[in-house]
């Protein structure tokens, strides 16, 4: 097979529609052929039984498979049909066609179009949120979309009769936590701004499968210093206060277990316990809920978000053929017990008086039924509505490419030995618990194949480690070993990092770790204060024994930082001062790969089951599996620990991410790769861009948040003022190809063109344009067209066509009859009419009713750009300008040197947005700078100048300039409540000094004349 897939596996931008994919053969291997369509979701899912006796849930989903128990399964889930509907809905050009609330529309535009300072949401994240929004706000209103809701009702009626669940499937590393934050923001903002609506909620219960994930999800709490709403800019700045009103409880499902309680009289307790005293008193459902979620006890519209939701299901009875034995039965029993506890907790909320659940959103990379669940193992939850698979994520560059063995030098065999290492060593490994009694097992006696596998993978790790050192990454790459039990993990940990061998005479000898970079001891047997290899399992988390007593002393700075984080999150100083070793160990684990944090020195993690999910370090480069992997589900979960990218910088030449890799041994994952060391990309230094407070608060600049414009037209004659911005040039780039050659294999060619439009009568063109103007630009307060203006508008339209319309490249004036072109023409004509009447004050800006003003006070974001201009402490409230071009850099110099400039700021992270129309669509323009100028009226009455530094002219440049001059500036000035404003555009970099001087002098003269 050719090498294209392995050399350049990434086909799609992570931020755009995944319109290309690699073809895979019947074995799931790439054929090296690119298909120019999106990959279909082809996963087996149970078919729900319709409660109405219909089979609508199965329609159009593919071939059916029927099990012996009568349960039917379908190959192509309903995901594809829902995806197609969401695709059509997403492409609708006008917000009015979306059929969502204005606040939802604002969030959608923000996620799709906002210029993020750091990593913007991936397409798959936005698509998952869009799917949830479409189901909640659109599907119920569109009869053709009812199939989706009917399917969900049937699917939940079969499997979750007391709950309405919606599953969103995103590959590991695709950012499920970001999607959770988007769902919370969407629900909360709508609930706050539409308190009378019963479609939204601001009460959330987030359930995780363990402590690791629970701690990670604290970024969903609006008051957390690292909350995603602010740090990842998922919410427009003026909506952040709304998100603060959300009530959010984050817990792990273990909290649903009823605990022993003594909340009864002693005599009653003794009577219930009896003579032997063995009967324990357990909490009631109400007591359990008050302990877990006291803030939500009286909420009837709770939204539940399940993270790693494949742990939450109600199992069915197993058939005789499905009965399991031995370890398989034990694992299935444990999985089912966990799933039963999780879903029972949710059902308890649903049943408890005064409480209720509106919707349950399940997020998982693998929302599949587990072995022993009563469903076919690995089949998709039937309430899954979106799917972005691991292969999709690889083709978009969102995750690393996993590389597994494809050949070795052992003759014979169906697969390389290290592809499924456990088949070779499983029977040679000690059983769990052997260390607890009798003679301990020697760590050096682990099977030789395991030792060789460790050495082989470690040898490759050394090369990567050296590369990271050479590139000054700042933290080491991470090597993970996932074991089957605590005994194995202890043996592997000691073999890797070193240990003391105890003898019968109570003496001991030191044994150095076999893998040099992972050693926890120096050559004298002294334990390193900051360990390089970490052992994680339940016993270690409870005891904290993996931490040396000197660790706290050496890591004082990092521990103090963690204490500060606790205080900031909880306000509890005692909890921070009395931090336990267990909490420290968890913090070490959660901060592996993070510079300046407790886990920064960790190079190797040896684990039992903690790393099957939830751990999201992005520095993992190597994984070794030392356990059985019965399903691809478990394989993907473990491999997923190594798939989070280390760098999210886009290649400016291709618009794609560079490929990153994770090397895997011992995990029979169905994906191939080749043994190549990928050079790492050093992370870019980040700089905090912020308002310098309180030292520079006197340089604060405030601005209005404009959401639209109102134009009051006088009843008298309309007179246009056509300018260069009024011109419209029709070209094939704008309207589409006007000349095309069609050809078959043989025969004559056909010349296709729009030449026939030349014959359209000019009067028809003028009439249609006038009619469009009247309907879309000139209506009265009641919404009726001002018919008395038809004659005037007709004359104006004719003049505009004669003076301002230019047709090139085989285009014709008749194409003004296209709706979008007519919108462009109508906007230009209406702007010209409004411009002529500015002295009559006809324009008023419409401000955001929830947050009418913004300020430099709130600027606070991180930037990885090295294009920084340190601002003069007497000229700007903000410490740096992140300049996008040398022109902007030059403007900073000019602004700071001019004596009339009182203050200035770059409009980045500031929130100054200008709404404008382009064709039939509404857009948002973000100017470059705001400059406060003393134009002779003194410091109490400055002129606020909005500045645009223009490079090459873009298609909508005229609309932006016209909107500023015709609507925004006069509209704000006419309000009289936000100071005086002006707009200027600089188009010549070498003329900025003189042009700025002339502009200021002009303002001073105008002020003196006034």
Higher pLDDT, 686 or 363: 363
| The pLDDT value given to residue 544 | 40
Provide the pLDDT for residue 52.
37
Q: Identify whether the C-beta of residue 880 lies closer than 8 Å to the C-beta of residue 938.
A: no
Domains 160-383 and 701-707+844-1009 are alike in CATH topology: no
Express each pLDDT in 371-406 by its tens digit: 777 777 778 899 999 999 888 998 999 988 887 777
CA-based nearest residue to 701, from 992, 949, 901: 901
pLDDT band with cut points at 50, 70 and 90 for residue 186: very high
Pair 691, 426: CB distance under 8 Å = no
Query: Please, what is the average pLDDT of the chain?
Result: 83
Tell me which residue of 825, 807, 821, 820 sits closest to 755, measured CA to CA: 807
Q: Which residues pair with 304 in a beta bridge?
A: 205, 360
Environment class of 361 (CB within 10 Å of its CB; exposed 0-12, middle 13-18, buried 19+) = buried
Confidence of residue 680 (pLDDT cuts 50, 70, 90): low
pLDDT at residue 982, as a whole number? 96
The torsion region of residue 447 among left (phi > 0), alpha (psi -120 to 50) and beta comes to beta
Alpha helices in 549-680, H assignment, sequence order:
551-554, 556-570, 573-577, 581-590, 632-639
**pLDDT of 49:** 45
Strands 728-730 and 853-855 come out as unpaired
pLDDT score for 153: 92
**What is the average per-residue pLDDT within 629-636?**
74
Given a cut of 90, whether residue 299 has pLDDT beyond it is yes
φ, ψ (nearest 5 deg) of residue 702: -105, 150
pLDDT-derived band at 577 (thresholds 50, 70, 90) equals confident
Contact 590, 584 (CB under 8 A): no
Average the pLDDT over 201-224 and give the result.
88
Q: Can you give the pLDDT at residue 180?
A: 97
| Residue linked to tokens 């590389």 | 403
Region of poorest pLDDT, from 117-131, 355-369, 432-446, 987-1001: 432-446
Res. 1009 pLDDT band, cuts 50 70 90: confident
Which pair of structure tokens corresponds to residue 147?
A: 């199939």
Residue 108 confidence (pLDDT) above 50: yes
pLDDT band at 200; cut points 50, 70, 90? very high
**Second-level CATH architecture of 701-707+844-1009:** 3-Layer(aba) Sandwich (3.40)
Using a pLDDT cut of 70, give the percent of the chain over it.
82
**SS3 category, 728:** strand
Whole-number Cα distances in Å, 807 to 569, 733, 771, 812, 835? 62, 12, 22, 6, 25
Q: How confident is the model at residue 409 (pLDDT cuts 50, 70, 90)?
A: low
CATH topology of domain 160-383: Rossmann fold (3.40.50)
Helices and strands of the chain, counted as H and E runs: 31, 37
Full 3-state SS string of 205-271? EEEECCHHHHHHHHHHCCCCCCCHHHHCCCCCHHHHHHHCCCEEEEEEHHHHCCCECCCCCHHHHHH
For the segment 50-59, what is each residue's pLDDT rounded down to a tens digit?
443 444 344 3
Are 706 and 924 within 8 A, CB to CB? Answer: no
Residue with tokens 């209506």: 779
Please compute the mean of the pLDDT values over residues 660-667 and round it to a whole number.
85
* Longest CA pairwise span in the chain (Å): 112
User: Using CA atoms, how far apart are residues 611 and 170, in angstroms rounded to an integer?
Assistant: 18
CB 107 within 8 A of CB 188: no
pLDDT computed for residue 277 by the predictor: 53
- List, in order, residues 6 or more apart from 813 with CB less than 8 Å away: 760, 762, 765, 801, 805, 807
Q: Give CA separation, 457 vs 300, 397, 480, 599, 663, in Å.
A: 53, 24, 11, 22, 8
Does the pLDDT at position 264 exceed 60?
no
Tokens of 398: 């969102």
Q: Name the band, by pLDDT with cuts 50, 70 and 90, for residue 566.
A: low
Burial pattern 95-128, b for ≥16 Cβ within 10 A else e, equals beebbbbebbbbbbbbbeebeebebbbbbbbbbb
Three-class SS string for 277-324?
A: CCCCCECCHHHHHHHHCHHHCCCCCEEEEEECHHHCCCCCCCCHHHCC
CB 104 within 8 A of CB 133: yes
Name the pLDDT band for 548 (thresholds 50, 70, 90). Answer: very low
pLDDT at 989: 77
How many angstroms separate the CA atoms of 825 and 813, rounded?
11
Q: Kindly state the tokens that stand for 256.
A: 């649903």
Residue 955 has pLDDT above 90, yes or no: no
Q: Is the pLDDT of residue 539 over 70?
A: no
Domain ranges of the chain: 160-383, 401-431+448-671, 701-707+844-1009, 714-842
Distance, first Cα to last Cα, the chain: 79
What is the helix (H) or strand (E) element at residue 862, kind and residue range? strand 860-863
pLDDT of residue 578: 74
Half-sphere exposure at residue 789, Cβ-oriented, CA atoms within 13 angstroms: 26
**Is 60 exceeded by the pLDDT of residue 558?**
no
Please compute the mean of the pLDDT values over residues 669-678 and round it to a whole number.
45
- Asked whether residue 641 carries a pLDDT value surpassing 60, the answer given is yes
How much is the average pLDDT of 914-935? 89
Least confident of 240-244, 497-501, 894-898: 497-501
Q: Where is mean pLDDT largest: 14-28, 528-542, 789-803?
A: 789-803
| Chain segment 738-793, per-residue pLDDT in tens | 776 453 322 333 566 788 888 889 999 999 999 988 888 887 767 777 888 888 99
Task: Select the highest-mean-pLDDT range: 503-517, 543-557, 625-639, 731-745.
Answer: 503-517
Q: Which residue has the higher pLDDT, 82 or 411?
A: 82
C-beta separation of 809 from 732 below 8 A: yes
* Distance of alpha carbon 135 from alpha carbon 360, whole angstroms: 13
Residue 514: per-residue pLDDT:
87
Q: Reduce the DSSP state of residue 830 to 3 states and report it.
A: helix
For 602-631, what is the mean pLDDT? Answer: 79
Does residue 543 or residue 591 have the better pLDDT?
591
Q: Which stretch of 220-234, 528-542, 896-910 has the lowest confidence by average pLDDT?
A: 528-542
**Confidence tier at 543 by pLDDT (50, 70, 90):** very low
Where is average pLDDT lowest: 515-529, 606-620, 650-664, 819-833?
Answer: 606-620
Q: What is the pLDDT of residue 47?
A: 52
For the cut 60, the answer to whether the pLDDT of residue 953 exceeds it is no
Q: What is the pLDDT of residues 37-75, one digit of tens each?
A: 999 887 766 555 444 344 434 434 444 445 444 455 555
pLDDT, mean of residues 334-361: 91
Q: Which residues pair with 208 in a beta bridge?
A: 252
What is the C-alpha separation between 664 and 674, in angstroms, rounded? 11
| Dihedral sign from CA coordinates of 991, 997, 1000, 1005 | negative
pLDDT at 418 over 90: no
Between 583 and 189, the higher pLDDT residue:
189
Rounded to 5 degrees, what are φ and ψ at 392? -60, -45
- C-alpha 635/C-alpha 390 separation (Å) is 12
């Amino acid at each position: 097979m050719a090498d294209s897939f392995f050399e350049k596996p990434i086909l799609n931008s992570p931020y755009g529609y995944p319109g290309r994919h690699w073809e895979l053969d019947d074995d799931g291997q790439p054929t090296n052929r690119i298909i120019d369509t999106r990959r279909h979701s082809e996963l087996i899912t149970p078919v729900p039984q319709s409660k109405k006796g219909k089979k609508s849930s199965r329609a159009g989903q593919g071939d059916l498979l029927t099990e012996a128990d009568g349960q039917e399964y379908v190959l192509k889930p309903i995901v594809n049909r829902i995806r197609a509907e969401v695709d059509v809905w997403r492409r609708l050009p006008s917000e009015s066609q979306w059929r969502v609330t204005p606040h939802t529309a604002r969030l959608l535009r923000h996620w799709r179009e906002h210029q993020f300072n750091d990593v913007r949401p991936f397409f798959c994240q936005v698509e998952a949120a869009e799917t949830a929004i479409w189901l909640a706000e659109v599907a119920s209103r569109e009869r053709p979309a009812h199939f989706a809701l009917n399917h969900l009702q049937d699917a939940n009626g079969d499997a979750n009769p007391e709950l309405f669940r919606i599953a969103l499937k995103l590959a590991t590393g695709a950012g499920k936590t970001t999607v959770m934050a988007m769902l919370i923001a969407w629900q909360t903002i709508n609930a706050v701004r539409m308190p009378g609506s019963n479609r939204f909620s601001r009460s959330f219960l987030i359930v995780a499968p363990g402590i690791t994930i629970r701690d990670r999800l604290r970024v969903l709490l609006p008051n957390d210093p690292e909350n995603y709403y602010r740090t990842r800019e998922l919410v427009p700045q003026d909506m952040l206060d709304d998100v603060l009103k959300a009530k959010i409880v984050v817990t792990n499902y273990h909290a649903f277990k009823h605990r022993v309680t003594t909340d009864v009289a002693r005599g009653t307790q003794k009577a219930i316990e009896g003579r032997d005293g063995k009967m324990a008193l357990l909490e009631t459902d109400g007591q359990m809920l008050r302990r877990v979620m006291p803030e939500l006890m009286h909420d009837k519209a709770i939204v539940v978000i399940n993270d790693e939701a494949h742990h939450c299901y109600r199992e069915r009875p197993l058939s005789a053929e499905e009965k399991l034995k031995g370890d398989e039965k034990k694992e299935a029993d444990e999985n089912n017990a966990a799933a039963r506890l999780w879903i029972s907790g949710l059902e308890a909320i649903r049943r408890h008086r005064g409480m209720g659940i509106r919707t349950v959103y399940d997020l998982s990379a693998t929302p599949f039924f587990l072995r022993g669940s009563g469903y076919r193992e690995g089949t998709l939850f039937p309430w899954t509505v979106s799917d972005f698979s691991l292969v999709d994520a690889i083709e978009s560059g969102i995750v690393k490419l996993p590389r597994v063995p494809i050949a070795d030098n052992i003759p014979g065999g169906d697969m390389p030995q290290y592809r499924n290492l456990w088949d070779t060593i499983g029977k040679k490994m000690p059983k769990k618990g052997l260390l607890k009694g009798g003679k301990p097992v020697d760590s050096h006696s682990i099977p030789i194949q395991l030792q060789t596998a460790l050495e082989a993978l470690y040898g490759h790790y050394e090369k990567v480690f050296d590369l990271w050192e050479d590139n000054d990454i700042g933290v080491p790459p991470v090597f993970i070993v996932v074991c089957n039990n605590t005994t194995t993990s202890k043996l592997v940990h000691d073999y890797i990092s070193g240990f003391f061998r105890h003898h019968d005479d109570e003496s001991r000898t030191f044994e150095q770790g076999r893998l040099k970079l992972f050693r926890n001891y120096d050559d004298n047997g002294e334990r390193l204060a900051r360990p390089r290899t970490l052992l994680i399992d339940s016993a270690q988390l409870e005891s904290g024994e993996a931490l040396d007593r000197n660790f706290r002393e050496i890591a004082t700075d990092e521990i103090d930082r963690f204490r500060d984080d606790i205080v900031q999150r909880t306000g509890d100083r005692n909890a921070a001062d009395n931090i336990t070793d267990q909490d420290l160990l968890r913090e070490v684990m959660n901060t592996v790969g993070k510079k300046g944090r407790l886990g920064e020195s960790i190079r190797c993690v040896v684990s039992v089951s903690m790393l099957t999910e939830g751990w999201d370090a992005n520095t993992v480069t190597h994984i070794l599996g030392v356990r059985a992997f019965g399903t691809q589900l478990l394989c993907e979960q473990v491999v997923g620990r190594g798939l989070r990218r280390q760098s999210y910088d886009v290649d400016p030449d291709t618009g794609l991410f560079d490929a990153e890799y994770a090397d895997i041994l011992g995990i029979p994952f169905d994906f191939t790769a080749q043994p190549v060391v990928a050079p790492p990309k050093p992370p870019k230094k980040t700089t905090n861009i912020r308002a310098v407070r309180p030292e520079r608060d006197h340089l604060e600049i405030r601005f209005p948040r404009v959401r639209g414009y109102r134009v009051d037209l006088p009843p008298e004659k309309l007179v246009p003022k056509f300018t260069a911005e009024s011109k419209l040039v029709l070209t094939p780039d704008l309207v589409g190809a006007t000349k095309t050659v069609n050809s078959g294999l043989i025969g004559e060619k056909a010349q296709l063109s729009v030449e026939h439009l030349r014959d359209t009568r000019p009067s028809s063109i003028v009439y249609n344009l006038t009619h469009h103007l009247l309907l879309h630009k000139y209506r009265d307060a009641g919404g009726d067209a001002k018919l008395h203006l038809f004659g005037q508008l007709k004359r104006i339209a004719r003049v505009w066509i004669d003076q301002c319309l230019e047709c090139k490249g085989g285009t014709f004036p008749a194409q003004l009859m296209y709706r979008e072109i007519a919108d462009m023409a109508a906007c230009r004509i209406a702007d010209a009419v409004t411009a002529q009447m500015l002295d009559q004050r006809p324009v008023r800006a419409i401000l955001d009713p929830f947050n009418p003003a913004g300020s430099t006070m709130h600027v606070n974001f991180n930037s990885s750009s090295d294009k920084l201009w340190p601002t003069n402490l007497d000229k700007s409230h903000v410490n740096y300008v992140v300049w996008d071009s040398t022109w902007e850099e030059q403007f900073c110099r000019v602004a700071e040197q001019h004596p009339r400039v009182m203050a200035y700021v770059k409009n980045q992270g500031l929130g100054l947005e200008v709404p404008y129309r382009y064709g039939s669509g509404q857009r948002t323009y973000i100017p470059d700078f705001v400059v406060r100028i003393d134009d002779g009226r003194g410091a109490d009455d400055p002129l606020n100048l909005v500045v645009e530094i223009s490079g090459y002219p873009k298609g909508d440049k005229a609309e932006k300039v016209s909107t500023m001059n015709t609507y925004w500036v006069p509209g704000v000035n006419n309000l009289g409540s936000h100071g005086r404003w002006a707009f200027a555009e600089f188009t010549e970099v070498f003329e900025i000094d003189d042009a700025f001087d002339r502009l200021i002098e002009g303002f001073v003269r105008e002020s003196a004349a006034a």
